[in-house]
Structure formats: C-alpha cells, structure tokens
A and B are shown apart, each in its own frame.
Chain A
Amino acid sequence: MAEQRTVEIQVLRYHPQHDEQPAWQSYKIPFSDDTSVLQGLLYIKDEIDGTLSFRWSCRMAICGSCGMMINGKPQLSCHTFLRDLLPGPVRIEALAHFPVERDLIVSAGGFVGKLESIKPYLLPREPRALAAGEYLQTPEELERYEQFSACINCMLCYAACPEFGLNADFVGPGVLALLHRYNADSRDGGRAERMPVLNAEEGVWTCMAVGYCSEVCPKRVDPAHAVNQNKATSAADYFLRFLGPKRGPL
C-alpha cells in the first residue's frame, strides 16, 4: 500500500480575547490528489484543533464564503488544491485588507453595507403590470451585463485591491462591478440613483487600474473592466451635467 502523503499547513491564528496580535501555527495533515485547502482545514478542525475558525459553505465555488490568502494570493479554499501547492508548507491567512475578527474570519460588514448602497436589484423604468408579460432581452443586451452578474460576493477582489487596502472607504471592485451590472441591464432604469456612488471619490475615482482584482476573480467577472469603463461615464456625467435641467447621465 502506498505511504500516506502529508503536507504542512501554516495558519495565521488570532483570537481577539487571548491574543495581542496574530501568530502562525503549524499542522501536518494527510492529503490526496483531490484534497482542497478547505478540506485540509476541515481535517484540522475535525481531527487536530477544533478551535480553528473559518468560513465555508458550498464547497464548490459558488457561495463566496471561503475566501482567504493562500501562499499570499487571494483564493477560494474550496477551489484551491493541495496537490498544486507542494511541497508546502502551505501558508494560509485571512483575506488581506480586511480586519481580522478571528483566525481566517474577516469583518465583512463594510462590504455588505457598500453592496446595499448601490441598490443591487432591478429598478424598473416604469411600473409594469403582470399582464405585460416578461421582459424580453436580445443576446446583445444580455452580453452587456452577463459577465458582471457572475459575482458571488467572495471579496477576493478586495483582498487583491491595494487601493482598498489603503482606503477602506473605497466602494471597491466587486460592488462597483455589480453597480455596473444593473446599470448595463436593459431592464433597469435606476442609473440616475446609482450615479452618486459612481461619481464620489470613493467610487470609481479611487481605482488606479492596478488590475489585480480581475486576475484573482474566481468567476471571471473582470471588475477592473466594470470600474474603469465607468470612469468615462462618470467624467461625462461631470462635464455634461449642466446641459439641460433634468438631464440624466449618458
């Protein structure tokens, strides 16, 4: 029988009531070719150290819960495999640029608040009766926003974004991509309501087009594209706003 392979996992631990600051703790775990980092963490929690705390849910890269820094890169732990990180040690810490609540759990309240602020739902142009039937949309109309609708709110892009790291008030790549998703949807009429978020300093204007957000996105949302194409939209709104009274943004 083949010998059981093991790998070293190092986790940056932090307990707010015991620790002044985080410290690395090392574990050695068995693994096989299909063991994800998440499964590794679950093994540690089940068999070695029940105090290890981390978020997870679906195990299949759709819920967005298990984001963390794995060997310095923001990744979903369910979507990252130990076989690709050999020989180890695998270094895991909480998602960058967020305050650490405990171990691998970060404060996500700020992100949620920002998400709420952009009205992430369709705002109809005019009231629509049920009898009018469903909205019809051409493939071209779908193409304009579909990519951005794939966001699973995993916040990896925030961990990738140094401008967010330097300024926690930055609305950020994910939320701005979702803002764009709704503005670009032909069924939506809420653009004017969302413009103030876009136009603020903390809106698109904190973005420096680093582009790392799009590199790390597990769903290929390309938030960098969403944010940066809206710089032109915001600039147009800025310069043309005095043309006519109730003129909406382009």
Chain B
Amino acid sequence: MSVVANRPRPYVRSMRGWWRRDPFFMRYMLREATAVGVLIYAIVLTVGVVRLAQGEAAWNGWLAALRSPWSVLLHLALLLAMMFHALTWFEIMPKTLPALLIGGRRVAAATITRGGWTATLVASGALFALAWWWGS
C-alpha cells in the first residue's frame, strides 16, 4: 500500500443532498425514480392476473377500477415514467456494450441510442397493432 504518511485530521465533507448539487445528478435520480413506475405497473398487472384467476365477477370489478379516472391518471403518469425510462435506458446502453467496429470504424454511441429508440417505436407499433387485431 501507499507509504504516504497520514496527515493529521483530514476533513471529511458530508454527502447529504449530493444529488441536489448538480443538474446532472438530478437527472440521474429522476432516471432511477422511473423504477417506481415500473414497479407500480408490475403490481397493477399482478393484481389483474390475480383478479382474473378469481373469476369473472372479480375480473369485472377490476376492469371497472381500470376505467376509473384515477386509474387512467395513474396510467398516464406510468406512461411518462416508462417513456423516460426508455429514453434514458438507450442513452446508457452504448456504455454497457464493448466498442462496436463496423468496417474498422467505431459506431458512435448516438447511433446505438437512436437504434434503441427506433426499436422501441417499431416494437410498440407492432404490439399495438397486434392488440388491435386481436381485440377486433
């Protein structure tokens, strides 16, 4: 280990409220907070599946709840959370991949990010179309 002698009484600064010190950190905390939205949605789906398993009456009760203004408002908030999650997920994704070389040249992070967003749009369109077809 290092042989530097320890100086007397180094001052350790507090980390309290660290994320309020820079807009970059605020955005990071907001990004992480989208997990709460993802969790709530997972719980909503779970309740739905439980109600489905409890029979038609239980399911119809749940469906009525889903149609309430509170539920729609909640889902609008969840939609925003999911969208911000998708946006930021593909922003980080290039960092988690090894440098991609195509024809000897590095693929820019922005290209990978935009590819991800495109994939979301395509997948979303496909699933929505599938739901529409299946429901009609």
Tell me the A residues contacting B by CB distance below 8 Å. 14, 16-17, 21-22, 72-73, 96-97, 99-102, 107-110, 112-113, 116, 139-140, 143-144, 162, 165-166, 208-212, 214-215, 222, 224-225, 228-229, 231-232
Contacts and interface: CB of A to CB of B under 8 A. Distances in A.
B15 A165 contact: yes
Interface of B: 1-2, 4, 6-13, 15, 18-19, 21-22, 24-25, 28, 32, 92, 94-99, 101, 104, 106
A21 B95 contact: no
B95 A100 contact: no
Contact of A162 (B2, B12, B18): B18
11 contacts: A73-B22, A97-B15, A99-B12, A102-B7, A139-B104, A208-B32, A211-B92, A225-B95, A228-B92, A229-B99, A231-B96
Contacts of A97: 13, 15
A112 B95 contact: no
Contact of A16 (B9, B32, B95, B96): B9
Contacts of A144: 99
B97 A101 contact: no
Contacts of B1: 109, 113, 116
B28 A16 contact: no
A212 B24 contact: yes
Nearest to A108: B4
Given A144-B99, A165-B15, A166-B15, A16 B7 contact: yes
